[in-house]
Amino acid sequence: MAHSTIVFKQPNFGTIRNAPVGFSWTTLCFGCFPAIFRGDFKWAAINILVTFGVALVTLGFGAFIPWIVFAVIYNKMYIRELAGKGYVVERVESRFNLDQLQAQLETVLKPAQAA
């Protein structure tokens, strides 16, 4: 379970996205489906292709390896993708503040302007 959630908002359209921070248990258990349900089709396709590629090379025995790797990195990649698309941080649901999460994620997140 992720230890924090960052709520992002797209400033032009008002679209809200919840982005968990930390290890992705759903990606570990369900592979590419969390990415598909989030509308993150690029990373879903990458997950599928890498999993099939590793499964072919290892004759199926190593197919679980990409799931473990993606479970470790997927939430961070999703947050970076949202920040790159212009989403701003609406709020942080965590015991950590935004600066601490930015340091953990190794990325800069733009907070929403106070109204």
* Look-up of token digits 């590629």: 53
Q: Strands 88-93, 16-21: parallel, antiparallel or unpaired by DSSP?
A: unpaired
pLDDT in tens, 29-88: 999 999 999 999 999 999 999 999 999 999 989 989 999 999 999 999 999 999 999 999
State the amino acid at position 67 in one-letter form.
W
Distance CA 60, CA 58 (A): 5
Supply the pLDDT for residue 2.
62
What residues form DSSP beta bridges with 5? 20, 93
Supply the pLDDT for residue 72.
95
Supply the pLDDT for residue 114.
54
Q: Which residue has the higher pLDDT, 54 or 114?
A: 54
Model-level pTM?
0.87
Q: What are the backbone dihedrals phi and psi of residue 89, each rounded to the nearest 5 degrees, phi first?
A: -80, 115
Q: Give the confidence band of 115 by pLDDT, cuts at 50, 70, 90.
A: very low
Q: What are the backbone dihedrals phi and psi of residue 44, each rounded to the nearest 5 degrees, phi first?
A: -65, -45
Q: What average pLDDT does the segment 11-24 reach?
A: 93
Q: Give the confidence band of 100 by pLDDT, cuts at 50, 70, 90.
A: confident
